[in-house]
Amino acid sequence: MSKDNQWIAGINSVEAAIANDAENVREVLIEAGARNPRISEIETNARRYGIEVRRVTQQALEGIAGGLRHQGAVARYAAARTWDENELPELVEAAGGKALILVLDGVQDPHNLGACLRSAAAAGVTAVVIPKDKAVQVNATVRKTSAGAADSIPVIRATNLARCMRDLQQMGVWLYGLAGDATESLYKIDLRGNVALVLGGEADGLRRLTREHCDQLVKIPMPGTTESLNVSVATGVSLFEAVRQRQA
């Protein structure tokens, strides 16, 4: 459990932290005079968990939020539970043959990572794997953008992404890498079993070693003039194709 305190801002982020990980919320600051009923609910829930709540000025909140849109609420937070690679086997086994893993290779923009985590939570993913190095980590901006998803799903930081991918394969997880130059369509493959969808970063996509460790490369068909999608959009499209197949 990380004990590094950080400030998170915004109604969704603060609500999610209190609901999913109240023991790590150190204090909540709300805007004095705010009339938003959700702010009142945050205060009530925080006090229910024994979390200190203070009313401060809007200027004070803006200074603490550091440019993030706070919406009248911020919280001092000790980062959520850190998941380790050695917990992946248990997560995959618990999924009962229907594990859905999202592997993100080198995403740099915290807004993109936050959006990916939000889609992952909505799709009911088993876990999200990100590299410890050369990629953005779960920070205050990611938490804000994820609308609480960063605190509700396992985010595993892999020391060696290629090795982690090999471990997933040994657990019976099939790895599909998204690449624009692939020949096979995403929509023609079976995504109903133990599956990991592997997406690359904003600039260069999948790195060579990551590509080589995928079982198959697939693409999202794009008949229009745009050659590629933002990683967060591609993540949403890919995950919800898996959801569609699993619900069919």
CB 85 within 8 A of CB 156: yes
Domains parsed from the chain with CATH numbers: 5-78 (3.30.1330.30), 85-247 (3.40.1280.10)
What confidence score (pLDDT) does residue 80 get? 61
Please say if the pLDDT value at position 188 is more than 70.
yes
Q: What's the mean pLDDT in 64-69?
A: 82
Phi, psi for 69 (deg, rounded to 5): -75, 110
Other Cβ atoms less than 10 A from the Cβ of 34: the count is 18
Q: What's the mean pLDDT in 203-232?
A: 90
Q: What's the mean pLDDT in 77-91?
A: 85
